Amino acid sequence: MDKEIQEKVNLWLSADYDQETRDAVAKLQKGDPKELSDAFYRDLEFGTGGLRGIMGVGTNRMNKYTVGSATQGLANYLIQCFKGKELKVVISYDSRLHSREFAQISAEVLSANGIYVYLFEDLRPTPELSFAVRYLKCNAGIMITASHNPKEYNGYKVYWQDGGQLVPPHDKNVIAEVNKITSVKQIQWEAKKDHIEIIGEKVDNAYLELVHGLTLHPEAIKKAKKLKIVYTPLHGTGITMVPKALNMFGFKNVVLVDEQSVPDGNFPTVKSPNPEEKSALELALKKADEVNADLILATDPDADRVGIAVRNAEGKMQLFNGNQTGSLLFHYMLSQLQETKKLNGKQFAVKTIVTTDLIRRVALDYNVECFDVLTGFKYIAEAILKNEGKKQFVVGGEESYGYLVGDFVRDKDSVSACCMIAEMAAYYMTTKSPNHQLLTDALHDLHCQYGLFKEALLSITEKGQEGVAKIQQMMDKFRSNPPKTLGGQPVVMMKDYKASRSYDFVNDSNELIDLPTSNVLQFFTADNSKVTVRPSGTEPKIKFYFGVVEPVDKKKDYDQVSKLLDDRIEVLKKDILA
């Protein structure tokens, strides 16, 4: 075994670590050498979004010691950053295994450093944590969650005083402090119990009141009494807030998927608790057919993402992807604000660079500025903060099923998104006289007006130490030898977000990209197709995003154009992997 790995293993077998941990390391030693190596070959990286990894013993795992180190580093930075001031941090957690334990450890370490902690009494969604940071006037927040990752994972997300996740310079500064924690002896473990306050209902009510205040058409909800909704929290935190919020909006015909309404970190009814995957919605789809529902809403374990399915003209439940739902939601918000004469040219919307460009076309049509930011909702939060007091944020979103309406939360919020999607369905059901309109019809109309945009995602998983190296090799190859053609079309532009340069191959020129650096590449072809390549920041994956577009003038041409675009995406997939 590598000498450095063996030294780490020996350290974790020392008296600096508790007996349970030492026993687990000893057991690992007797097992698969590759598993032992993977647990110790590196330190679990505290990235710009915090920690995320497989739970277990070892420096490359989520456990009490890696969580304690991260919290001590954060405490040190907060003390430096807010010298002489009383410090406050709020902590929440999801339904994953050990989430409550990691939240308690975080609270104890912070309190031991003299920081006052608000700890939620029970699991709560990520968006409520983001809200609570601002509501309780905290310096930071911690959310214990691995979002939609498989059950073996957990994570640790850090929020700054604006309620958004860490962005420059704080992300790198916190990372630097965490990296200085080289021994568990540097961690202050002895909690000050008078520095930990348990919170719950008061914050819940304040949050729900603001969610309810987002409604644009309460009269449409009253008319849409027949609208039936199936909701599943996928064993996660959504059960604490989404049913209450829908009820406050006036949606009384909500059917829960009972088997998935009990929080459970083992996620026993799904392979992966990810609403992006059809398999996660199988029980909801079955329930929807049993009760003849019009709409399915499904949230991930920490309730920041939402997946939907709607009943179409053929009477079947049709899944929408994140781009489709986002496009409809953006259009609904902007069109209704215009209808009520609330648009004055000072509003703005935000999307990520891998999210459908249909959203940009919609925003421009309503004279609403639309900002493109890097992948990650923290950059949407940063755009809100930069424009605070100058412009009004309306809506933001990303293709991975995350949306935000209003600015009292600074992360994606499935609680408010569920309510606004349901209201949107009610509006189309009741106001498109004489015949009510389905959300599938509304999406068709959107495409006929602005162009049929289609997107696809291809993810390749490369696990372990070898996988990390392989993914980096792929990125290096694309960067040093970019494709000349894709889908039979010449590549006319490449954007390299790591180099912060956009290269125009037609005019042999380049210009600066005014965004933070990121290991992302985009290729644009002559027919307006787009391929984005980026390693995942939270999973051992490299992701390929494909976007294509064609005009479609008549609904009768829709299927033909749709098939053309599907074929084009398949060719792009083959070309980029060739």
Please state, in angstroms and rounded to a whole number, the distance separating the CA atoms of residues 265 and 48: 25
Please state, in angstroms and rounded to a whole number, the distance separating the CA atoms of residues 343 and 333: 11
Helices and strands: H and E segment counts in the chain? 18, 23
On whether the CB atoms of residues 73 and 47 are closer than 8 A, the answer is no
CA distances for 113 relative to 169, 196, 223, 382, angstroms: 23, 12, 55, 28
On whether the CB atoms of residues 75 and 115 are closer than 8 A, the answer is yes
Based on the residue annotation, tell me whether 147 is a catalytic residue of this protein: yes
CA distances for 95 relative to 102, 126, 143, 237, 245, angstroms: 12, 12, 12, 6, 20
Give me 128's structure tokens. 């409520």
For strand 295-299 and strand 196-199, is the pairing parallel, antiparallel, or unpaired?
A: unpaired
The continuous run of DSSP H or E covering 23 comes out as: helix 19-29
Q: What is the DSSP string of 200-219?
A: -HHHHHHHHHHHHTT-S-HH
Q: Kindly calculate the radius of gyration of the chain based on its CA atoms and give it in whole angstroms.
A: 24
Per-residue tens of pLDDT for the chain, all 578 residues? 789 999 999 999 999 999 999 999 999 999 989 999 999 999 998 887 789 999 999 999 999 999 999 999 999 999 999 999 999 999 999 999 999 999 999 999 999 999 999 999 999 999 999 999 999 999 999 999 999 889 999 999 999 999 999 998 999 999 999 999 999 999 999 999 999 999 999 999 999 999 999 999 999 999 998 899 999 999 999 999 999 999 999 999 999 999 999 999 999 999 999 999 999 999 999 999 999 999 999 999 999 999 999 999 999 999 999 999 999 999 999 999 999 999 999 999 999 999 999 999 999 999 999 999 999 999 999 999 999 999 999 999 999 999 999 999 999 999 999 999 999 999 999 986 555 689 999 999 999 999 999 999 999 998 877 888 899 999 999 999 999 999 999 999 999 999 999 999 999 999 999 999 999 999 999 999 999 999 987 678 999 999 999 999 877 799 999 999 999 999 999 999 98
- Domains in the chain: ranges and CATH: 42-199 (3.40.120.10), 207-450 (3.40.120.10), 452-577 (3.30.310)
Strand partners, 307: 298
On whether the CB atoms of residues 94 and 237 are closer than 8 A, the answer is yes
The pTM assigned to this predicted structure is 0.95
Exposed/middle/buried for 403, CB within 10 Å: 0-12, 13-18, 19+?
buried
3-state SS, one letter per residue, for 132-147: HHHHCCCCEEEEECCC
Judged by DSSP in three states, 491 sits in strand
Select which of 147, 414, 518, 529 is catalytic.
Answer: 147
Listed residue (387, 385, 416) closest to 403, CA to CA: 416
What is the per-residue burial (b if ≥16 Cβ within 10 Å, else e) of 52-71? bbbbbbbbbbbbbbbbbbbb
